[in-house]
Amino acid sequence: MMRQFVSVFIVTFILANAFFAAKAATVYETLESLKYTEYLDMVKAAGMDSQFNDSSVTWTVFAANNTGVNATLAPKHLVVSNITSNATESKDIIEYTLYNHTLLSDDIKTGTTILTAVNGMNLTVVKNTTGIFVNGIMVVTPNITADKSVIYEMDSLLIPPDIKL
């Protein structure tokens, strides 16, 4: 009797875990749990939060962590609110960090690859024995999967060539 109870409990436990494992986190939720709050502030200012929280998107996201955003803005005497106060600028910056196909690090060829970002401008990706670089900015952590998308943690914020900070 006790044994039967224990096995029912175990089966229930396994099924519950399988259920929760199947509901993967969206790009938005993953960036939130990684505490990329400044990048997410720009996503919200761009009005792109629902797209970032859509489990069907198939993106490669080159997202700077908070240290990286600050390190990019500080030499220009700016903080993230100087970007988020301008929705157009926020959207251009965020769309420049997105490529509309999922690239795991193994999908990136050694050498130079040009990717056209969602804002229509090119990103130059270099993969070599040191690591992966986008416009010369180092990838800190590749391959962070979020639903059908993949996030690359970046050392600095990618700034589109049409924006002068």
Positions that interact with ligand NAG (CB under 6 A): 26, 28, 49, 53, 58, 65-68, 70, 78-82, 86, 88-89, 100, 104-106, 114, 122, 126, 128-130, 133, 136, 140, 142-143, 155, 163
Let me know: does 44 contact 165? Beta carbons within 8 Å: no
Let me know: does 144 contact 30? Beta carbons within 8 Å: yes
Amino acid code (one letter) for 11: V
Among residues 2 and 114, whose Cβ is nearest to ligand NAG? 114
Sheet holding 111-116, edge to edge: 98-99, 60-64, 149-154, 137-146, 132-134, 122-127, 111-116
Nearest distance, CB of residue 130 and ligand NAG, angstroms: 4
Among residues 2 and 122, whose Cβ is nearest to ligand NAG? 122
Among residues 33 and 81, whose Cβ is nearest to ligand NAG? 81
Nearest distance, CB of residue 49 and ligand NAG, angstroms: 5
Beta strands 122-127 and 132-134, pairing class: antiparallel
Nearest distance, CB of residue 132 and ligand NAG, angstroms: 8
Instruction: Mention every residue, 6+ apart, whose C-beta is less than 8 A from residue 137.
Output: 154, 155, 156, 158
Nearest distance, CB of residue 153 and ligand NAG, angstroms: 6
Among residues 7 and 72, whose Cβ is nearest to ligand NAG? 72
